Each structure stands twice: as structure tokens, then as C-alpha cells.
Amino acid sequence: MRKVAVILSGCGNRDGSELQETLSLMLAVDRKGWQYQCFAPEGLFEVVSHVDDKLDEEDAEEGTLEDVPQRDIFEESARVARGNILPLDHYKASDYDALLLPGGMGAARNLSTYAFDGPRMTVVDGVLDAILETYRAKKPVCAECIAPIVVAKVLGRYGVHLTLGSQCQASEVAEGFGARHEVCGPGEVCVDAEHKVITTPAYMVATRISQVFDGSSRLIDELEVMLDASR
């Protein structure tokens, strides 16, 4: 039975993993009869309201950002995984057939610093190591929504092809890292067979959950083709 690893970044599209994207990926994997194992890094993150999409701006302006509510990435990710989750430092590429990164702003805030630093972004060490280890093992790396910016930062130097949907600020940053960006619509996927990278834009361009599920399903279909070709 094939088994894939999923890196989560919290719970909720504005400061963690996008739930509809994550669950669409999990369902698409499960429908293949495969298994998935969720991982997440540990560490605190600042909570963003899912009502008004803001931190407590008054606290931030007064220099008391420590008063903004914080939660643990690993604990929040465990909510998505129904408790079946492992610390990211337990990940070994040799144990899995592929690595999946759902979207959500957690990828830009908790797995990397893209949301804060743009083209000067860094990637969390554990995430960086997991992507590089998977790539060097010649196993597929898959990402949705904004998460391909993390892949671009780590693997862009190799000239990987990926999508962030339309031409946008994020795609320009990805190209600055050396990645080659492909415009994709809702439900479409970008397949880089040479570097074994598969991406879909999801809510970067999608407007309905059905489009997100279509993209996730096609990503997993393309992953199956890629894995079959590697046998």
C-alpha cells in the first residue's frame, strides 16, 4: 500500500492549513486506497481572526504584540488530523512515497516567513529538510495554493516548474528563486516530471470547494501516474 506524508501548518486558512484543501487531499488519497500520515512542526504562532482577518492591531501598534493570542502549530494541526500526527522531525523520506503540502496562510506564516518577508523569506528548518530529503530521494513533492512558494524557495535553484495560479506577486517571487511558473486555472495541475514536483492552485484562483477538490483529485491522479512510472 502506498503511503504519503502530509505537512500541516495549523488549523484554518488565515493562519494555518486551509481545511478544505487539506481534507480534499486526504480524501483523494484515501479514495486511492492509500494511507497518509500527518506531520507538523512545533512552535507558537500568532492567531489571526477568521472573522475580520486581523491581528489585534491596537496591541501591535502599541508595541504589545505579545498580548496577541498565540497557539502551537503542532497542537492546532492535531485538530485537523484527528490526533493522528507526528512531529515533523520524525519524518523520513524512505518511509513514504511522496510528500504533500496543503495550502493556507500557515504555509506562508508558520512553515516559512513569506507572509512577512516576501522575497527575503526563509523556510523553517524541519520543512526545508523534509523537502530536500524527499527531492534527493527522487520522490515526488506536491503542494497546493500558496504552499508552492515554499517549494520554490527550497527547489527553485533546480529550475522546478510549478504553479501559484495566475501571474501574481507570489509567482514573481517564485521566479526570482529560479522556479518556472505555469499559469493554471481552478482544478488544473502543473506536473514537473523531471523534478517530480506536482502543484495545483486551489484557492489561489478557485472560488468553490468543488474546484479545490477537482484540483486535489487531479493532483493525486498525476501522483499515481508518476509513482507508477518510477517502478
Of all residues in the chain, what percent carry a pLDDT higher than 90? 84
Q: What is the DSSP letter of 202?
A: G
User: How does the average pLDDT of the chain come out, rounded?
Assistant: 93
Q: Which amino acid is at 150?
A: V
pLDDT of residue 139: 98
Q: Say what the pLDDT of residue 60 is.
A: 47
Per residue in 222-231, pLDDT (tens digit) is 999 999 998 8
Topology of domain 3-229, CATH? Rossmann fold (3.40.50)
12 φ/ψ sector (left φ>0, alpha ψ -120 to 50, else beta)? left
Say whether pLDDT at 51 is over 80.
Answer: no
Lowest mean pLDDT across 72-76, 90-94, 196-200, 216-220 = 72-76
Among 70-79, 143-152, 206-215, name the one with the lowest average pLDDT.
Answer: 70-79
pTM to 2 decimal places: 0.92
Count other Cβ atoms within 10 Å, centred on residue 221.
Answer: 14
Position 67 confidence tier, pLDDT thresholds 50, 70, 90 = low
User: Which has the minimum average pLDDT: 36-50, 80-94, 117-131, 198-212?
Assistant: 36-50
**Rounded Cα–Cα distance for residues 106 and 110 (Å):** 5
Instruction: Give me the catalytic one of 11, 38, 142, 145.
Output: 145
- pLDDT, residue 43, reads 87
Residue 59 has pLDDT above 60, yes or no: no
Kindly write down the DSSP assignment for every residue of 164-201, as one continuous string.
Answer: -SSS-HHHHHHHHTT-EE----TT--EEETTTTEEEE-
Assess whether 145 carries a catalytic annotation.
yes
Strands 35-40, 190-192: parallel, antiparallel or unpaired by DSSP?
unpaired
Q: 84 in helix, strand or coil?
A: coil
